Amino acid sequence: MTGVLTTRRGLMQAGAGVALAATVPATARSQSGPLRVGVMTDLSGPFAGAGSQPLFWGAEVAIELFNQRGGAGGRQVQIVSADSQSRAEVAINEAERLLGQEQLEVVTGIYSSAHAVPLSGRFQQQKKLMWITSAIATAVLKDKNLSYVFRPTVHSDQYAEGSVSFIHEHAKARLGTDPDKVRLAVIYEDGPYGTGVAAGIEAEARKRNMPVVMKEAYSATAPDLSTLVTKLRRERADVIMHAGYNPDITLFLRQAKSGGLRFKMLIGHGAGYSQIDKLSETFGADVNNICNVDPAATQMLDQSRLGAGVADLAAAFLQRYQARHQSNDPPTHASMGFNNTWIFLEHVLKPAVAKTGGMTADALREAALQVDVPVGGTIQGYGVKFARPGTPMSGQNERSIAVVMQFDNGKSKVVWPTAIGVPPVLPLPAGHTYAAR
């Protein structure tokens, strides 16, 4: 991406043109030169391996392809990147740098909900656009009436709806019991992401009269989860629903195995569970048939059911990503990074530049509120229409969709919604490391 990427470390080496651009008032820069867009993710620390790196890589491919197709009105998009290092205080400092020193009008990315919650208020206060491509906690937007924060991807209540609906739908036929007899356990990291997913699961289970026999939080940096494993064994849960990142998921699965924990199904909820390549590398066949809830990676979908031109866009993304990262089955976060960045570039940035000649936050905000993409119009299958200011989920994409996927020898397949999925393996088959005996 020569000439497109500017990092904090490489800013001084990026060339006189960039250095000069930083001294020109934003109003003048808005009419000429590159369109500078912030991309803030976690390129180091535990979140990097839990999906934040492929989120950034997907965004890189989107911007590269967008530029090669002519950019916005012939103007190229230039990334100004920031590594929030899996730490909320660093994310806040980096956001201040991007908005202050770099004088950006928009920052995209934001992997962690624990970062998105404090950042959203700052962007709203400064009236700059925050475009969330990952952080899924419902609490980021709910009842905040934010008008400069947009999230095209799903929110945590949709994760909960997916996992609980999946078990409810298949309880009788595949687990041999009525849904109200299936014993659910919910374990989760104690940040906004895990807390939001857990609260959603509890609420969805209550609607369906399904018992939650255990609901317990832990720190994502906890060095030992053996007590949690012991409690799960005591409660004899049929289905464990887990919201975790990466080191904590690895720790849990290892201690669950050594502690003899058995269950009929384990369902993850994005984040570390979406990194099937890393899970398979660490656990091999032990993660076969485990499920996960997330937006679908584009290669999981029937491309013939997508809108005009979308399958070609998906193919272009996959070809570039696979060649660059030697990945035959790119993780969901790669599709999220590409898709949600592409939505911004094609459906927000391009119209704003065409209408105003620039890309002020207000012009981008107005363009975002006009986006109307039907279901099937993006590479992840969902459409795009943002809830308007004054509504409970202002800034949330009302057409986002989460699916339940199941792992099969290092790949993922959609098993819910049933209309677009294949039949699941449920319960875990006899002989599986974690299968209930």
Nearest-CA neighbor of 336 among 151, 192, 201, 164? 151
129 touches 153 (CB < 8 A): no
Residue 50 pLDDT level (bands cut at 50, 70, 90):
confident
The pLDDT tens digits for 59-87 are 999 999 999 999 999 999 999 999 999 99
Q: What confidence score (pLDDT) does residue 300 get?
A: 87
CATH topology of domain 5-154+305-369: Rossmann fold (3.40.50)
Distance CA 285, CA 152 (A): 34
Bridge partner list, 396: 151
Return the number of other C-beta atoms located less than 10 Å from residue 266's C-beta. 24
- Asked whether the predicted pLDDT for residue 329 surpasses 90, the reply is no
Least confident of 14-18, 64-68, 324-328, 416-420: 14-18
- For tokens 């990676």, the residue is 297
Q: Which residue has the higher pLDDT, 387 or 328?
A: 387
199: three-class secondary structure by DSSP = helix
Torsion of CA 262, 267, 273, 277, to 10 degrees: 70
pTM for this one?
0.82
Least confident of 102-116, 253-267, 321-335: 321-335
Instruction: Spell out the domain ranges in the chain.
Output: 5-154+305-369, 157-294+402-420
Residue 328 pLDDT level (bands cut at 50, 70, 90):
confident
193 touches 137 (CB < 8 A): yes
Q: What confidence score (pLDDT) does residue 282 get?
A: 87
Which DSSP letter does residue 370 get?
Answer: T
- Asked whether the predicted pLDDT for residue 29 surpasses 80, the reply is no
Q: Which residue has the higher pLDDT, 30 or 105?
A: 105
4 touches 67 (CB < 8 A): yes
> Under CATH, which architecture does the 157-294+402-420 domain have?
3-Layer(aba) Sandwich (3.40)
Distance CA 186, CA 317 (A): 35
Return the number of other C-beta atoms located less than 10 Å from residue 45's C-beta. 16
Mean pLDDT value of segment 119-134: 97
The pLDDT tens digits for 223-276 are 999 999 999 999 999 999 999 988 899 999 999 999 999 999 999 998 888 777
Q: Which residue has the higher pLDDT, 41 or 358?
A: 41
Q: What confidence score (pLDDT) does residue 186 get?
A: 97
- Asked whether the predicted pLDDT for residue 339 surpasses 70, the reply is yes
Distance CA 121, CA 113 (A): 13
- Asked whether the predicted pLDDT for residue 136 surpasses 60, the reply is yes
Distance CA 376, CA 305 (A): 7
| Burial (CB count <10 Å: 0-12, 13-18, 19+), residue 34 | buried
| Burial (CB count <10 Å: 0-12, 13-18, 19+), residue 185 | buried
Q: What is the mean pLDDT of the chain?
A: 90
- Asked whether the predicted pLDDT for residue 187 surpasses 70, the reply is yes
The pLDDT tens digits for 388-437 are 999 999 999 999 989 999 998 888 889 998 878 889 999 999 999 999 87
Mean pLDDT value of segment 323-345: 92
- What's the Rg (C-alpha) of the chain? 21
3-state helix, strand and coil shares in percent for the chain, rounded to the nearest 5: 45, 15, 40
Residue 13 pLDDT level (bands cut at 50, 70, 90):
very low
Mean pLDDT value of segment 286-297: 92
